[in-house]
Amino acid sequence: MASALETKAKEAYFDDHFELALDLYSQAIGINPKKAELYADRAQANIKLNNLPDAVADANKAIELDPSMSKAYLRKATACMKLEEYQTAKAALETGAALAPEESRFSKLIKECEERIAEENGELPKETLEVVPTNVVPVKDVSSVKDVPDPMTVAAPTKSTYRHEFYQKPEEVVVTIFAKGIPPECVKVDYGEQILSVAVNAPGKDAYHFQPRLFGKIIPDKCRYDVLSTKIEIRLAKAEPIHWTSLEFSMEVAVPQRINVSSVAANQRPSYPSSKPKRVDWDKIEAQVKEEEKDEKLDGDAALNKFFRDIYQDADEDARRAMQKSFVESNGTVLSTNWKEVGVKKVEGSPPDGMELKKWEY
């Protein structure tokens, strides 16, 4: 049954019916969840449908089941490059290249990752970069198989018993997944530059998979998680000191947002159903909030923070990049808006007179 579904899935994929292929691969995985090939092929279907976090999760599962499968590393790298996670993609490509040295795509994509990483670090001018196609050639053709049964109807997914929420600090985001009595060995958490992948497979409980593309970039080596009696607590180290307006990435938000206490409080305030219709003049409320912010008198650290936020809001893209880079690399002791100076070197910390700069270990 699983092999027939796999064959039909491959045929659907080569006919460009990617959604059908995805459903068929999922059915085959439900019957044979230990076959790495199915996860690697479903990852490719997810890439075609632009389900990039799901593609990374499938590739990771294929690698877990068969660490010697070179195409699983290629799938992971392809999805990560589309997500602009070039460090993670390069690591996967290097492992895949060691497994399949005759495959030329690995070396070409590694070169592209190195160029993109250099561009991000300001080491190469953008105009000199050679653009290399990131599309990956699909899996090898398979001979069509006749007289295979029609695809099975996909069963409706059961409602998950898990739920999650998050809060943040200036330097980290804490994600809490509420789940009682989960053994630590049944929890697997992976981190990418901008991806979180959580899988819970506990005996007698529903399987849980959570793979969001995150609002901002993180530092994987500094992230950690704890499995407690009633929850799984995941701490994500921010790569940039910006406020996350949501946990998951959105195309509508292209630049770091200012922390607005009024709007955050409003978003977190619970709403309850009411049988009484009520009209709200949102334009009027927004105007009142802006007027209050304008007239607000601040002092001490609050006034200083507002001063820096106003500078950031009115700055151009290069100045914002300079502020972010100088603040992070100097451990919060230097804030520069000169990208030409900051972009070509690492910014060293500069503590106030009479104080000593210490590097914190996590």
Q: Are residues 10 and 111 in the same domain?
A: yes
- Say whether both 171 and 223 belong to one domain: yes
Establish if 225 belongs to a structural domain: yes
Please tell me the pTM assigned to this model.
0.43
2 plus 91 within the same structural domain: yes
Domain count, the chain: 3
Q: Identify whether the C-beta of residue 334 lies closer than 8 Å to the C-beta of residue 347.
A: yes
Q: How far is CA 218 from CA 194, 214, 332, in A?
A: 6, 8, 17
Using the 3D structure, point to which of 121, 143, 172 is the last residue of a domain: 121
Q: Give yes or no: residues 176 and 105 share one domain.
A: no
Q: Are residues 2 and 105 in the same domain?
A: yes
Query: Who wins on pLDDT, 74 or 1?
Result: 74
Residue 98: partners with Cβ closer than 8 Å, 6 or more residues away: none
What's the chain's average pLDDT? Answer: 78
Residues 117 and 202 in one domain: no
Residue 190 lies in a domain: yes
Highest mean pLDDT: which of 117-121, 156-160, 184-188, 251-255? Answer: 184-188
Last residue of a domain, one of 237, 270, 285: 237
CATH code at position 25: 1.25.40.10
Task: Tell me the per-residue pLDDT of 115-164, one tens digit each, with 9 for 90 and over.
Answer: 888 887 776 544 444 444 444 445 444 444 344 444 444 444 444 578 88
Q: Which residues touch 277 (CB under 8 Å, ≥6 apart)?
A: none
Domain that holds residue 170: 164-237
**CATH number for the domain including 192?**
2.60.40.790
Query: Helices (H) and strands (E) in the chain — how many of each?
Result: 12, 7
